[in-house]
Copies of this chain bind each other. A is one copy, B any other.
Amino acid sequence: MNTEKMPRRERERLRHRALILDAAIELFSEKGYQNVSVQEIARRAEFSVGALYSFFESKERLYESLVLSVAEEHHARLLAALRREGEASAVLRGYVAERGRLFTDNIKLVRLYFSETRALGSPMQSAVCEKVHELYHELVLEAASVIERGVREGAFREGDPYHMAVALEGIINAFLFCWLQEPERQPYEANVPVILDIFLRGAAAR
């Protein structure tokens, strides 16, 4: 967003809003949505509760804004990775690595995202929920189109590129989840070639 042209007052407000979101991200990802009180967020952000409510009409909406902003940032970075130029498999390698980077740099956040987004009784309005799913879907579609290109270029075998993309997504998640259980065993990056190898060559003897 272009903030340069705004009057000072408005710029200040945006900055304050961001500070509150930052505090909220920290707290939510440390303790989970339900275990953080509005008072706590306000205190951490060094604002009054009233101020907080002048930016967000409810705790729920604050949470949604937060999820949305994080989702959009991640989405942008992952989309960029998928739109890089180069051989399809190289692009996918980059994507797999970027997924890892985002994940490992923001474990807590990502956990929050995973758990609360898919949770039942999640405090998100369905509009936001859908928006998040839409972003996710868009990403899978983009990956599919990379794969499709790979097929056209003869690098990948025939097959439904969307299915392939879904599978890739799953493999990445599974390895990320593994890493999450024992982060100290080895850095996630070590898995990047493994993931690609399995994804590309499959399990069967040729």
The answer to whether B34 and A164 have CB atoms under 8 Å apart is: no
A188 within 8 A of B: no
Known A-B contacts A114-B118, A115-B122; A166 and B147 likewise in contact (beta carbons under 8 Å): no
Please, which residues of chain B bring their CB within 8 A of the CB of A201? 157, 202, 204
The answer to whether B120 and A30 have CB atoms under 8 Å apart is: yes
Please, which residues of chain B bring their CB within 8 A of the CB of A120? 28-32, 108, 111-112, 115
Q: Which one, B32, B122, B204, contacts A156 given CB within 8 A?
A: B204
For A, the interface residue count at a CB cutoff of 8 angstroms equals 57
The answer to whether A173 and B175 have CB atoms under 8 Å apart is: no
A30 to B89, CA, bound (A): 42
Please, which residues of chain B bring their CB within 8 A of the CB of A118? 111, 114-115
Known A-B contacts A167-B171, A174-B169; A157 and B203 likewise in contact (beta carbons under 8 Å): yes
Q: Which residues, 112 to 149 on A, are CB-close (under 8 Å) to B?
A: 112, 114-116, 118-122, 133, 147
CB distance from A125 to the nearest CB of B (A): 15
Known A-B contacts A170-B173, A174-B167, A174-B173; A199 and B203 likewise in contact (beta carbons under 8 Å): yes
Q: Which residues, 35 to 75 on A, are CB-close (under 8 Å) to B?
A: 35-36
A171 to B195, CA, bound (A): 12
CB distance from A109 to the nearest CB of B (A): 10
Chain B, Cβ-Cβ closest to A30? B120
Q: Which residues of A contact B (CB under 8 A)?
A: 28-36, 89, 108, 111-112, 114-116, 118-122, 133, 147, 150, 154-157, 159-160, 163-164, 166-175, 177-178, 181, 194-195, 197-206
Q: What are the 10 A-B residue pairs with the smallest beta carbon separation, nearest first? A: A32-B121, A170-B174, A202-B202, A115-B119, A170-B170, A200-B204, A35-B121, A32-B120, A201-B202, A157-B205
Given contacts A112-B120, A201-B202, 7 further A-B contacts (CB under 8 A): A35-B121, A119-B119, A154-B205, A160-B194, A167-B199, A170-B170, A199-B203
